[in-house]
Amino acid sequence: MATDISKLRNIGIIAHIDAGKTTVTERMLYLSGAKHRVGRVDHGTTDTDDDPEEQERGITIFSACVKYNWQQYSINLLDTPGHVDFTAEVERCLRVLDGAVTVFSAREGVEAQSETVWRQADRYRVPRIVFINKMDREGADFETVFNDIAPRLGGRPVAVELPVGQGPPHTSNPFRGVIDLVDMKLLEFDPETEGKQITETEIPDDLIDEATLWREQMLEAVYELSDEAMQLAMEEKPVPKEMIIAALRKGCIDMTVQPVLCGSALHGIGVQPLMTAVGNFLPSPLDIPPVEGVDPKKQDKKLVRKPDVNEPFCGLVFKILPAKTGDNYWVRVYSGVLKQNSRVQCPNREKKENVAQLWQIHATKKDRDGQIDAVGAGDICCLIGPRFAITGDTLCDTKAPIELPSIKFAETVLSMAIEPESTADRKKLEETLEMLKRQDPTFQAVENAELGQMLISGMGELHLEVIQHRLTRDFGLNVKFYKPRVNYRETIGGDAEVVGQCNRQIGATNMFARLTVRVSALEDPSAPVLVFDRLPPECPLQGNTRAAAIEELRERAGGGGLIAGFPLSGVKIEAVDAEVHEEGSDEVAFRIAAGDAFDRGLEAAGPLLLEPVMKVEVTTPEDYMGEIVGDLQQRRAIIAATETRGAMTVITAHAPLKELFGYSSAVRSLSQGRAGSSMEPFSYHAAPKEDAEAFSY
């Protein structure tokens, strides 16, 4: 509570899978003194990957939060997943962070998921610094990775460090330290103390020319950012260290530059300078614009909350972890003070919530010794007590309500049917699925009335596999799982104008209604359905009856298409004319006519089945490129690009999700385990005719 907000840093570690995010986090904890032993990903002993699923697979699945102190700074660090199936974890973290460390592998460089997380950070306006990791790996190339950042990510990298050598110890010029371009010193890290002991010396003569060249490039960026530094340069005077750091800090916070550092987190090289750079270059809560929201009762009234303990309290729930003792709500506090045993408002649910306990977070758990009385503006905490709030909801002062923008997550692309082995397991399964939905906003579970089955949906094969293991191992459920199926959508191929009608005799009443509807295809087939009331002012259809007709069109549009009831998208529906009789043209009649017009319109415009298409990136040695390209083409993939990155070739392709089940295993098989792949949702395209026919009844 007594934290100096100007010395507070809320940062995330973001990167492609296997770039070394969790290892960087572990080293930061160890070197800052927050823990006494370095955990290893391959041993399953890291603090942040504490879930059995993460330890078995050696990857991060769930975002984790740790707190440590370095120099005068107090740092909340969120370690995020790199696999695309868990991109929602990155999304929710970036929504509440002030800055980020983007990690690249010195060998693989800028990869597919690197681009995804960079775009996410751009969308949330999160300043970032860059750490080029694994400089001691075979094939490491600092300059290639550095030069890829601008064209591929639209960034402006500025090197503040330079590696001394690159590659493993058996090479002729192995990686053995870094040159600090601000101080112009050589930093070497003692392997006996796992990098804790740093030796600072003058730069050797054989490296001074290259270091001077890179320093000049750094200073060019500084001159653009600081008129004062430019003036000193014109007077041929040296630019002080403090001025360089201040200029780069300003550029980083304004997102015009990204300071670049390098090292090897596994061997403790370059991590302390990275932690110092977090304090020097990334913003405190005071350096970012005040959070904006709206008045819950007047949505057009804008409200602002400054990062000040004297402002009314407001915070955002960005993660919920179910627990037997009460769900753990992770909250970013934007303003005011949140106290234990207090009562707050949740405007999204129109409910008041109790704050029974406040805790400091460590990894994915409450810190054993971390119960706190209050937490102030700018900080992150765990609270226990709320019952109604969900991820993305606002918590605020009951006397000064505000609703902050929520968090938007991508739609699921894959589903599978599950059913309990016995009736006794059914209720427990339903309760468990509800709990998992609270924890993971990209996980869905719905009862399909037509199939009589429970369908669970996720972001990919790995996502659903993890859910399966959690249901059976963690919750002890006896559940049958069926083969995953693709989440198709439906749209139309053209435009049409039709008349829907109702002409029925019910008792002594003749129900009559005619509604003319125009349906047309939107340019983006995956765009949401749009329904418009275009009835002319002189149209006899008015009042509640008119509203009922439009409401029926909207309800039918939300119910799915004609082929197999998959969600409808990319369609515009307009009611353009109506015909009524003096008697019998009531709400029921026009609902029937609207439903008839909807079906006729989709049929006349030509219903189309859309399949999700993924962007696939394969990194492979040149020797296996032919086999991999051939296999992709057999999977109906379109090769979008190929490029050479060092010793590896990168193939970018767009392929239907239906054809990609088990693809990661296939790639390893084709390349004797030397190639890797990643994929992310790309778009929706028309599915083959035979697929649509397979759904026809």
What per-residue confidence (pLDDT) applies to 697?
Answer: 46
Q: Phi and psi (nearest 5°) for 157?
A: -70, 140
Query: Checking phi first, is residue 628 left (phi over 0); if not, alpha (psi -120 to 50) or beta?
Result: alpha
Q: Which residues of 414-435 are buried (b: 16+ CB within 10 A; e: fewer)?
A: bbbbbebeeeebeeebeebbeb
Average pLDDT over every residue of 442-450: 77
How far apart CA 548 and CA 586 sit, in angstroms, is: 9
Q: Assign domain 291-396 one CATH number from 3.40.50.1220, 3.30.230.70, 3.40.50.720, 2.40.30.10.
A: 2.40.30.10
Residue where the block lists tokens 């010793």:
647
Domain with CATH 3.30.70.240 in the chain: 609-695
DSSP notation for 37-88? S---GGGT--SS--SHHHHHHTS--S-EEEEEEETTEEEEEEE---SGGGHH
Mean pLDDT, residues 311-324: 90
pLDDT of residue 246: 96
In the chain, CATH 2.40.30.10 covers: 291-396
Alpha-carbon distance values, 96 to 11, 275, 317, 363, 392 (Å): 9, 20, 9, 17, 10
- The tens digit of pLDDT for each residue in 463-508 reads 888 898 888 888 888 888 888 788 899 999 999 999 999 998 877 7
Per-residue model confidence as pLDDT tens digits over 149-184? 999 899 999 999 999 999 998 888 999 999 999 999
Quote the strand ranges of 397-522, DSSP E: 414-420, 444-448, 453-458, 479-481, 485-486, 489-492, 496-506, 509-521
Beta bridge partners of 342: 355
| Whole-number pLDDT of residue 40 | 65
Strand partners, 553: none
Report whether pLDDT(199) > 60: yes
CATH no., domain 489-605:
3.30.230.10
In sequence order, what are the beta bridge partners of 394? Answer: 316
CATH of domain 8-281: 3.40.50.300
DSSP 373: S
What is the per-residue pLDDT across 545-578, written as a single tens digit (0 to 9) for each? 999 999 999 999 988 888 888 899 999 999 999 9
d(CA 224, CA 500): 65
Q: 609-695: which CATH number, 2.40.170.20, 1.20.1090.10, 3.30.70.240, 3.20.20.70?
A: 3.30.70.240
Taking each helix axis from N to C terminus, what angle separates 625-634 and 663-670, rounded to the nearest 10 degrees? 150
Which one-letter amino acid corresponds to residue 207? L
Q: What is the mean pLDDT of the chain?
A: 89
Task: List Cβ neighbours of 586 (8 Å cut-off, separation of 6 or more).
Answer: 511, 545
What CATH number is given for 414-482 in this structure? 3.30.70.870
Please list the residue range(s) of the chain that carry CATH number 3.30.70.870.
414-482
685 contacts 656 by C-beta, under 8 angstroms:
yes
Residue 1 has pLDDT above 50, yes or no: no
Q: CA-CA distances (angstroms) from residue 428 to 418, 425, 453, 463?
A: 13, 5, 16, 21
Q: DSSP string of 115-141?
A: HHHHHHHHHTT--EEEEEE-TTSTT--
pLDDT for the residue 381: 93
How confident is the model over 212-224, as a mean pLDDT? 96
- pLDDT tens digit sequence for 321-373: 887 778 899 999 999 999 999 999 999 999 999 999 999 887 666 655 678 99
